[in-house]
Every structure is written in C-alpha cells, then in structure tokens.
Chain A
Amino acid sequence: MIKLLQRTGLFLCLVFIALRCYASEQIVVVYPDLEQPYSQVFETIIEGIGSGSAELSLLKVKDKESQSVGEWFSNKKPSAIIALGSTGYRHNDQFPKDIPLVFGAVRNIPPSRSGVSLNIDPANLFHALKNTNKAYKRLYVVYNPKRYLDWIILAKSVADDMKIEVVGFEASSLREAMDHYKTIFDQENLEESVLWLPLDSSVVNNKVVIPYLLKESWDKNLAVASSVVGHVKRGLLMSIFPDNQAMGLQLAQLALERHSGSVRSHSKQARFAINTRTARHLGIIFNEPFQEQVEIEYPSAR
C-alpha cells in the first residue's frame, strides 16, 4: 500500500513537472487592428492558438507601427512568434531574429518562411467529392504558378490515390485565366469534372469571372467549388473553407515544433458549405455523414 502511494505520488510529481515545463512556453501573437468582419477571423484563429498549452501574449498592431513593434519586443523573450495576416507579415523585420516565427492567416506562405496558409488542404476537397453520388474523374484548376504550384503538386499526390486527374492551367493574368475557363467549358463530359477556384484574385475575379462561371457552370452542369463561402451563396456548388480555430491550433503546434527550415502547410481542418439548389440542378447528392459535416447550406432551408 505504501509502495502504491509512493509510486502514485512520484507519478503525480512527474506529471506536474512536465505540465509546468510545457506551460512555460510563451507565444506572442502579432495580429492586425481591424474592424469587423475581418477582426472576427483573427479572433477565432487566436482562440485556436490559445487552445494549446502555450501562454499567449497578444500584440495588436496597425500598419504604420513598425517602430513601436520593435520596442515592444525589446524586453520580451517569447518561445515563438505567430504573425497573422498581411500586417503581421509586414512587421516581420521588427521581430527578434532568434525566435521562431510562423505566419498565418495569409493566402500564401512565402518561400523560405514557415506558416499555415488560408488555403485548405486538398484532401478536404477530395474528401467532399468522395462523399457524393458522382464519380468524378477530373479536377480542373486555373492557377497562378507563382503562388499556387505547391497546392497543385499536393493535390496531384492526393488525387492519384482517388483516381482523379488534376488538370492544371497556368495563368499569369486574368485574361489568360478567362481564356482557360473558356477552354474548360469547351470540354466534353463536364458532368464528370469539378472546377476548383483557388484563393487567388489574379485568376478569380468576383466581379467578372464569378458571374461568368456561374452562368456557364449552370448551363454546362459543371460542379464548381471554392474556398469562399460567398461564392456558394451566389450559386456555386460548394465551398471548403478553413476551420480558423483549428488553424490556430495548427499554427501554435508549428511554432512550438521549432523546425529548422521552411515548413509551409495548408489548413488541414476545413468546414463545408453547399448550395442545395445547385446540387439538385447538377444531380449531386451528398451522403448522410458528409451532410452532417456541412455547416452552411444555401438557400437556407433548415
């Protein structure tokens, strides 16, 4: 009995010491001072970062505060820094060089930097496609190779397992993108294909491209998916957008892992929105388990 008590006490001490050591990690989150609705995005990400074990220290900055950011770090020694959004990225030269730095809440992580982009992991897209009554054979993507090539590569590696062909069209301007969209819509058997719209305004324009795609995809029964919930509201089939809280946790883990090189990843956890009217038009039926995961439906029926 005494031995049992001794062993239990020793275990509890070890657990306490381990927790104590882990909780001593401190992460500084640098995020922009913005109004709604953008501020809501950053608050959710920060909430996700805070759901980890590290102690958080928040620094809300404006675009023109580079000097004060440097001063703020002069007497601080955090374990890692997470810079959120374009504002956080623009202040990176003010951060201490010897502290691990990761970027988040940006569309693309620049080369040689570490972070989690707002682009969803392609696996989520394929997961959604797998849960329909359709057997998709092709995934069309018009993309800018400067910013989206790694996603394409990743998508292709995932798609091979699902026997889906990823057909990428490189475009460096909106005009080229429009030409590619025309080419896609001229293809045969579009019912077996899906068009994915990257989170990149150089190839997707809300004013011109989206209306065009809406019309053509409706007419030619092409399923279109993107990362923007608003597109679904406007009539696209599906939106797969990042789970910001999960992305926050992903950022915290990446920051504390202290990788020596560049680690660029996409948001692994995604949320789903579908347009049921478009789905009916395309004859797409999502299975029950997937429908359970869908958070937003348009038009709002339920």
Chain B
Amino acid sequence: MLADFVDKRRLSFRHQLLVVATLGLFSLAIAGTLTTTWLVNRHSEDVLLKQARLITDNLAEQSLLAVLYQSVENARLPIEHTLKFPGVDAAAIVSHELGTVHQKGSFPAAINVESLSLTDNSEPISLDNGWIFYARILSDDGLGQDDPFGIGENTVEELGIAVVFVTNALLQQTQREVLLNNMGVAFVIALVLAGLVNFGVNRLVRPMSALAKVMIQVEEEGEYRKADSNGPLEIRVIAHTFNQMMDALKVRDDMLRRHKDHLEHEVTMRTKDLEQARDAALIANRHKSAFLANVSHELRTPLQSIIGYTEVVKEELELEGLDNYINDLDTVIRNAERLLALINNTLDLAKVEAGKMEVKLDDYELQPLLREAVDTITPILDKNNNEMSTRYPDDYLCAFVDREKLLQVIINLLGNANKFTSGGKISLGVSFDDNWIMVAVVDTGIGLSEAQQEEVFNEFSQVDHGTDRGYEGTGLGLAICQHFCKLMGGDIGVESELGQGATFIVKLPRSRT
C-alpha cells in the first residue's frame, strides 16, 4: 500500500526514502511507546499488588494485640500507618468473634468486611476501582509448622482478618502519565531521528540527484556532458559508466558526422557527374533526333522518287505486256514502301523525343473514326485468315483527341493483331465511364509473356526479340502509339498470356480536363 502510494505520487527516490524512513521511525516510536508503557504498567501493577500484599500482611501482624484485647486504641496506630501508604484508601481490623475492631477510610459499597470469606491470603478481590486485600490475623510465634520441637500441636489460632482497600486511581493516573511522557519523548526522538535521516538521505542521494540532473541536461540539450564521480560506490560506478557511455557516444557521433560529410561530398560529386552525363545524353539525344529527322527527310525524298518512278515503269511494262518484270517491280515497290514506313516511324519517334511532335486535340465522334480504321485494315485480314468483329455502344461517344494520331494508333494495333494472329479472331470494342473511353483491341494470337509485356512499348523491342524474326515490322509502332496516347492525355496498356492472345487497351479522355 505504501509502495502504491509512493509510486502513484511519482515521488523522487529521496522523497520515497524519506517517507518510508519517517513512517518507519514513527511506527517504531509508537510501537516502542506502547510496548514500554505496557511493560511499565504491568510492572507498576505488580509492584503495587506486591506492596499491597506486604502492607496487608504487616497490618495483620500488627493487629494481633488489637484483636486479642478488642482494643480500638491498639488498632488505630497500625491502621493509620497503613493508610499512609500511597493508594491505600481504607483499612480495617476484624475479629472473628466480635466483628470489626476498627475501620478507617471507605470501602466500596459492595464489600462488607465482616462477611469476607477467607480462602487464600494471596489472591485479592479485584474490583473496578481497586483491590480488596485481606490477611489472617494469626497467633503465630513465627515457627508455624516448621517448629522442630513441637509434635501434633496446632497452636496457631486465627483470630480475625486485616482488610485493606487499595484503589487503582493512582495507578491509572501513573499509567496515563507514563503513556503521555513516553509518547512525547518517543515523538521528539522520532522527529530528531527523522531530521537526521533527512540530513543523511540528502547527503546520500545528492550525488545521484546530480547524476540525474546531468542526464536530463544531456537529454534536453543533446550535448555530451560528464557526471562527477562522487558519492557511494554504486553511484560512482553508475557515473563512471555514464561517462564512458558519453565518451563512446561522442566518438561514434564524430565518426557518423565525418562519414555523413564524406557521403554528402560523394553524393555531390556523383550528382555533378550524373548531371553532366544527363546533359550530354540530352544533347546527344537531341542531336540524334535532329540527325534522324534530317536523315529521314533526306531519305524520304529520293525514296518517294524511287517509288514513283518504279510505279511509272511498272505501268509502262503492264501496257507493253512484259509481265515477267512486274513481280520484280512489285518487290521493289513493297520494300521501298516498308523502308518509307520505317523512315516515317523513325521520323515520328524522333519528333516525339525532340518534343516537336504537335497534336491537334479536339472533340471527335469515335465510331466513324473506328470504322475508318476497320475499313483500312479489313483488306489485309485475308492474308492471315483472321476474322474481324467490332462492338461499339449505341451512345454517341465523343473523345477529346488528335484524330489522325488516334487513327494511326488504332490502325497500328489492328495491324499488329492481324500480324501476330493466324486463322484467329480479332475484335475491336469500346467501353466508357464518365471521364474515360477505353478502346480494346483483342486477338487470339501468340500472346506475350510478362517480360515481353514489360518491354513491348520500348523502341525497337520487336527487333531485339529473337523469336519475332519471322514477323515484319520495325518495333517502333507500339512505342509511337504510347507516345501518341500520352500526348493526347491518355494511356495504353496490355493484358496477355503467352499463347493465349493479347488485349491492348487505349484509354482516352472524354473531354478537356
């Protein structure tokens, strides 16, 4: 309970020690006082009872003459002497034959001295306010039963009794005074001892308080302070350990600070290097794009001339009926067109990366655009024996897009679906919500692995894919599609499993946001 109290109060160690010590001292004082008082009271009562017994026996001895002579004069003196003893309130000499010889003082009302029955001299009658002592008055010569010369002679006669009333008022008053005095002395001693304990505890806990103060300062200020190694052994050990810990923390902190400085320096240097590398890369990329744009432009012009003049030659050969050369010219034209497409894609990609690709965003109805894309792709479906299906909603759907670029994206996706699907199905579907329109191109072709899905939108990814060598294409189409979608504020994604076909979803904004 005391522990709970001091714990709940969250007192300091010094205060807890003082509370416990002070309570202990006062408990000791109270216990000591009560014990001492009890012992003194018992001893006082014993002494009083023994004294009363002696007084009564003495009165009985001195009463012999008074009883023998029935003489009040002989009784007066011993009774007066008896009454002089402290605590004796009344005394009487009673003859067995003739009743009370003499009585002085007042006996309690319940006691009739002439009717007392004597059974034992040693036991007094205990009353609320005292004791009644009585003793036989014997004609005893002092030899009694030990008389070495008497045989069969019972010469001792009992002539009467001496009765003494001893009040306990004086004893009770003495006991009260003893209790009060003991309590007073014990409390004064306890107070003095408490003061000494306070002084001792202060001296004892002072080094610990100083140590705690240093610890609090360390916690609040974050500085490494050292405590004085004074006081008892345990406190010195704690202070020594604390100082060692402070030293170790300081050394570690210095090391961390140096390491941090070193790292910051390293990061600065690396950042600078990276910035230089990045700038160089950006410059190189810009140069590359510019180069590609220039080269593409320079390549397209003669390539278009080649295509144009080849088609002229082909028409003339058809007119002249020289069909043997027409197939060769078709091969030339087809490869030239592929080369032109490659150059156009490269040119688009270069423009995008150079930030020069312009988009003309506006609200366009989606279904006509999609039908146009399907119409464009339908002629080539037979080449791979694929079936095409569409699923458009009946609602009027309007997307905020660049019409040409969205058309290029859809055609590209339908073309890829046809290219990687053989004897399968291709479907074009549209779904929407309040903000977005999702256009999905689904095929049942060869599908994409997870690794391929991660790389499918990178430039030239198809070229890097060994398994795709059998398919035509530059590997730039999907990269361009992704750039176009992002330029329009949308995005493109793929869901596929290898051998299970693929689904490309184009996400488009429905309105200007």
**A contacts, CB < 8 Å to B:** 32, 34, 38, 85-87, 89-90, 103, 105-108, 110, 118, 147, 173-175, 178, 200-202, 205-208, 212
Contact = CB atoms under 8 A, between A and B. Distances in A.
A140 B61 CA distance: 28
B78 to A, nearest CB: 13
28 contacts: A34-B148, A86-B147, A87-B148, A103-B151, A105-B149, A106-B150, A106-B151, A107-B149, A107-B150, A107-B151, A118-B149, A147-B153, A173-B139, A173-B157, A174-B159, A175-B68, A175-B97, A178-B68, A178-B69, A201-B139, A201-B143, A201-B155, A205-B141, A206-B141, A207-B141, A208-B64, A208-B68, A208-B139
Nearest to B154: A202
Nearest to B61: A207
Given A174-B157, A175-B68, A201-B155, A86 B148 contact: yes
B159 A175 contact: yes
Contact of A85 (B61, B149, B153): B149
A108 B155 CA distance: 13
A86 B141 contact: no
A202 B156 CA distance: 7
B153 A202 contact: yes
A103 B157 CA distance: 27
A206 B142 CA distance: 9
Interface in B311-357: none
Contacts of A173: 139, 157
B466 interface: no
B401 to A, nearest CB: 141
A94 to B, nearest CB: 16
Given A85-B148, A86-B147, A207-B64, A107 B153 contact: yes
A90 B146 CA distance: 13
B77 interface: no
B65 interface: yes
Interface in B116-153: 139-143, 147-153
Contacts of B69: 178
A38 B148 contact: yes
A106 B159 CA distance: 26
A206 B150 CA distance: 16
Contacts of A32: 148
Contacts of A208: 64-65, 68, 139
A51 to B, nearest CB: 22
A103 B152 CA distance: 14
Contacts of A89: 151
Interface string B169-212: 00000000000000000000000000000000000000000000
A118 B149 CA distance: 8
A202 B152 CA distance: 13
A285 B502 CA distance: 173
Contacts of B156: 201
Contacts of A206: 141-142
Q: Which 5 A-B pairs have the closest CB atoms?
A: A202-B155, A174-B139, A201-B155, A201-B141, A89-B151
A200 B68 CA distance: 18
A190 to B, nearest CB: 20
A134 to B, nearest CB: 30
Nearest to B62: A207
A86 B139 CA distance: 20
A205 B139 contact: yes
A107 B141 CA distance: 15
Nearest to B145: A86
Contacts of A38: 148
A85 B140 CA distance: 20
Given A174-B68, A174-B157, A108 B151 contact: yes
Contacts of B64: 205, 207-208
B98 to A, nearest CB: 10
B77 to A, nearest CB: 14
Given A86-B149, A107-B153, A208-B139, 15 more contacts: A32-B148, A90-B151, A106-B149, A107-B150, A110-B151, A173-B157, A174-B68, A175-B68, A175-B157, A178-B69, A201-B141, A201-B143, A201-B156, A205-B64, A206-B142
B151 A86 contact: yes
B150 A86 contact: yes
Contacts of B159: 174-175
Given A178-B68, A205-B141, A206-B142, A200 B155 contact: yes
Contacts of B142: 206-207
Nearest to A63: B146
A230 to B, nearest CB: 11
Contacts of A178: 68-69
Contacts of A205: 64, 139, 141
Interface in B96-110: 97
Nearest to B142: A206
A202 B150 CA distance: 12
| Most interface-central of A85, A108, A173, A175 (chain B CB within 10 A) | A175
B101 to A, nearest CB: 13
| Most interface-central of B143, B155, B156 (chain A CB within 10 A) | B155
Nearest to B70: A175
Contacts of A106: 149-151
Contacts of A85: 148-149
Nearest to A212: B65
B150 to A, nearest CB: 6
Nearest to B144: A201
Nearest to A172: B157
A202 B153 CA distance: 9
Nearest to A105: B149
Contacts of A90: 151
| Most interface-central of A103, A106, A206 (chain B CB within 10 A) | A106
Contacts of B143: 201
B75 to A, nearest CB: 13
Contacts of B151: 86, 89-90, 103, 106-108, 110
A260 B38 CA distance: 72
Contacts of A103: 151
Nearest to B74: A208
A201 B142 CA distance: 10
Interface in B26-70: 61, 64-65, 68-69
Contacts of B61: 207
Nearest to A147: B153
Contacts of A174: 68, 139, 157, 159
Contacts of B141: 201, 205-207
| Most interface-central of B61, B64, B97, B152 (chain A CB within 10 A) | B152
A203 to B, nearest CB: 9
Contacts of B139: 173-174, 201-202, 205, 208
A97 to B, nearest CB: 19
A207 B62 CA distance: 9
A208 B152 CA distance: 23
A122 to B, nearest CB: 19
Contacts of B147: 86, 201
| Most interface-central of A86, A103, A108, A212 (chain B CB within 10 A) | A86
A206 B148 CA distance: 17
Contacts of B65: 208, 212
Contacts of B153: 107-108, 147, 200-202
